[in-house]
Structures are given as C-alpha cells and as structure tokens.
Structure 1
Amino acid sequence: MYTESVENYLKAIYKLSSRQGGGYASTKAIAEVLEVRSASVSKMLQRLEKMGMVHHRSYQGVQLTSQGRRIALRTIRRHRLLETYLYEVLGYSWEQLHSEAELLEHYISDLFEAKIDEALGFPTHDPHGDPIPSKEGKMPDIQHIALANVEVPGEVVIARVPDSSAQFLCYLKEVGLLPKVSLKVLRKEPFNGPLLVVLGDREQVIGREVAGKIWVKKKRDLIDGGRIDEENS
C-alpha cells in the first residue's frame, strides 16, 4: 500500500513522460501539474528514487522504473473505473467525476476494483473517452489527433476530452462536444483563428485553444471495439 502522495507523483510523471513519447519529466513540469513547490518535488523525487520507483538524470528529470510504471497505471486504472462507475451506476454528472475519483482512487482494494470492473462489463474507456489500462498494467495504444490539427474538410468523431476542469467539461456538454459525437470541420480561420464545424444539424464556432484540447479520430475508425453509432453521425 502506497501513500496518496506517492501515487499522485507517479501518475503525474507517467502522464508527463507519455506526452513526450516516454521521455523525462522535469521537476518544473511536475510542480506545475501537482501545484506544489519545486523544492517539495525535488525532495519527493529523491524519496521515489530510493524506493526504486524512478530513474533520475541530471538536467533532464525523471523516468519511471517498471515498478513505478506499474503503480502509476494501477492508479490510473482505478481512477477511470471509478469515474465510469460513478457515472453509469451512481448517476454523477460528467463534470463531477474527476474530483470524486481523485479522492477515492487511493483507497479501494484489489477486490473492489475487480468487482466494479465486472459490474460495468469490463469497460475499455471512461466517460471522457480516456482508455482504461488493463488489470495486467497495459495501456491500450491510441491514435488520436487534436481537433485543431484536422485537415479541412474533415469528418471526425470525438474520442477524448480532458477531465480535470469541471468548468471546461460543462462548456463541452453545453455545446454538445462529447465523446462519440461526429462532426465535420468546414473551415479553419488563419492566424490561429477559430474553427467552423457542423455539429448535428447546426454550425458551431470552436476556438482554436478549445479545439487543441479535444482529441478525435477519423469517422471510419472504430471506437470501443464497434462502429460509430449512427444516431451520432
């Protein structure tokens, strides 16, 4: 059993490293993600290195060891299973899931994790579209691109959205930018201007910053092992 702080650090390092294709996570980046001082991060990284959880390289940062990666993926798996359970079984709203799962993920047992996985029918993605690592500690390979980078004209399906900001999730829900929803990109204004998309039977303007946070895949691709629902096409 590891402390909440240890698991949060390992999870943050995993996500930061993944963004760089398996590179190093810097002290500064970890401090920004966890909203703590760099001095506190340095102290914890020394502790994690002694525990065999990370490798440290001067002037570059840290990488997870196989043990650190295993704990990080277990924590992420529990978080995403909990989000799915809270949403599908307990009726939590979309924007409430992340903060609640953050509290619970550190305290459930292996048995409880297995029970909710079974009760949910062994889901592969959480309500925000994020892949759920397997119980063996494997993260599914995903091939998504940011909506902001889609070529015009382009027909895509929303695959994932960030879950950490409740305010941002409320906005996405309000305008209908949800996972598995299809849309067509009609135009991208120059100089980092907004996108014009067709969403259902209406046109919607989406700011470039927002579009950069929404991950999509081509409409012909599969989602969750099945074809895109026609009702969302």
Structure 2
Amino acid sequence: MPNGQSPAIEDYLKTVYAHTEWQPDPITPSALAAALGVAPSSVTEMVKKLAALGLVSHAPYRAVRLTDEGRARALGVVRRHRLIETWLVHEMGYAWDEVHDEAEVLEHAISDRLLEAIDDRLGRPSRDPHGDPIPRADGTVPTEPFVLLADAPAGHLGRVIRISDRDPSVLRDLDDAGIGPGVELRVTDASPLAITVAAGADPAERALAREVAEAIWVTA
C-alpha cells in the first residue's frame, strides 16, 4: 500500500470519521459493525488493535472515537476516496451514482504522487460529485453551516451542499428531478410523510419522501 496502512484499518478509520461528519453522536461498536457489514466480534478485535496503535479511544461497551492521529489518517483516506470519485466523474465519464464502489477499491491502491496529479488536474476541487468536502492535503476540511432537509421547516431556503451516496437509486431519481449540489431549494411544505420543495427558478413543486429528504443537506 502507498502509505503502509492496511485496507481494513483504513476502512475502519474512514467509517468512524464518516459517522460523525454530518451529525454529532459518536459511533458505537454495534453501529460500526452494521456499517462495515462485519460481525461484532470482528469489530471488538479491530477496535482493540486500533486503540493499541493510538488511532482510537474506546472503553468497553462505549462509543469509538478517533484520536488526533486517527483523525489525520482517516482524513487521508477520505481525501483519496473523494478525489477519485471526482476524477471518475469529470475525466472518466462515470455518473455520480456509479463511482462509490470503484473509489472503495482504488482508494487503497493509489499512490500519493498520482493523487497529487489528479488533484492538480482537477483544479484542486473542494467538493466531490455528491457535495462531500474533500479534505485538503494539510488536513483541513472546508465546512459551512448546514441543516438536514428532513429537518428544515416550511419556508426554509437553502442551497444543496451534500447528498448521501448510500443509495444509487436515490441519486438517479434526484438527478432526474434536477436536484443536486448547488441547486437552491425552497421548502414549501414539511409534513410527517414528505417534504415539498421548489428547486431553483422552477416554480413547480416536488414532494420528496422523508427517506429521500434525509439524504439531502442544505445550507442553514
């Protein structure tokens, strides 16, 4: 590997980081097992290993938190993943719903030299195709105030800054609806079942199911 760190360790650190990137609650071992699709016993052993390496802090049956060193390592993985996704869309013709799995593989193999060349070729992008911020080489991450669309009240006006890539079908549906990062949304109704929005200058309203609205973040 380019940085001497195993893919398994990288996956764990990235998952712990991603869990708290858009909400404040730290990840529990059971949630970590579910996110990675592994047995709880495997998580227990790996978390012990990560703690011994000084990458996470953890007490039995408590949440798992990254140390400063662990966060720095996690940001390196996240940077590679998101730059690769951006490169695949802008240079290789992939759609935004097709890049996640490819990046999952390539992030463990790409060299720092090639990553720097990709970053330069793309013009030092600050966000990936889904709107997720791309950590800079110095470890800083561009941020701005946000709110989950599902929590936004009627009358809220905000620009889409991020859409979860967890479900490719949601990405395709939103693309068909003209909703993506950078699009301004106005919430016209917020009911228990759906969030109704108007996108951009188009006066037409679109009802988004709650589970879809829970995958969209807009400016606060």
TM-score, length of structure 2 as denominator length: 0.92
Residue pairs, 1:83-162, within 5 angstroms: 83-162=85-164
For residues 147-204 of structure 1, what are the alpha-carbon distances to aligned partners after superposition, in whole Å with 9 as ceiling and x for unaligned? 1222222322211000122122112112222111122211122xx1212222324221
Q: Is the 8 A contact 1:24 1:60 kept in 2?
A: no
Amino acid of the residue matched to residue 142 of structure 1? E
**Please, which runs of 5 or more residues in structure 1 have no aligned partner?**
219-233
Aligned-residue CA RMSD in angstroms?
A: 1.6
Call closer, same or farther: CA 1:74–1:61 in 2, change over 3 Å.
same
The DSSP-based 3-state class of the residue aligned with 2:99 is helix
Q: Is the 8 A contact 2:57 2:66 kept in 1?
A: yes
| Residue aligning to 1:176 | 178
Distance 2:197 2:26 in 1: 36
Q: Is the 8 A contact 2:153 2:189 kept in 1?
A: no
| Residue aligning to 2:10 | 7
Call closer, same or farther: CA 1:197–1:61 in 2, change over 3 Å.
closer
Instruction: Select 1:47's aligned residue among 27, 46, 49.
Output: 49
Q: CA deviation at 1:141?
A: 2.7
Distance 2:127 2:188 in 1: 29
**Please, which runs of 5 or more residues in structure 2 have no aligned partner?**
none
TM-score, length of structure 1 as denominator length: 0.87
Distance 2:50 2:39 in 1: 17
Distance 2:21 2:155 in 1: 30
| Residue aligning to 1:36 | 38
| Residue aligning to 2:195 | 195
Distance 2:57 2:187 in 1: 43
Q: CA deviation at 1:20?
A: 5.2
Name whichever of 79-88 and 133-142 sits farther off: 133-142
Distance 1:157 1:54 in 2: 34
For residues 21-53 of structure 1, what are the alpha-carbon distances to aligned partners after superposition, in whole Å with 9 as ceiling and x for unaligned? 3x6421101001101110110011111122221
Distance 2:130 2:195 in 1: 22
Amino acid of the residue matched to residue 14 of structure 1? Y
Identity of aligned pairs, percent? 38
How many residue pairs get aligned? The number is: 215
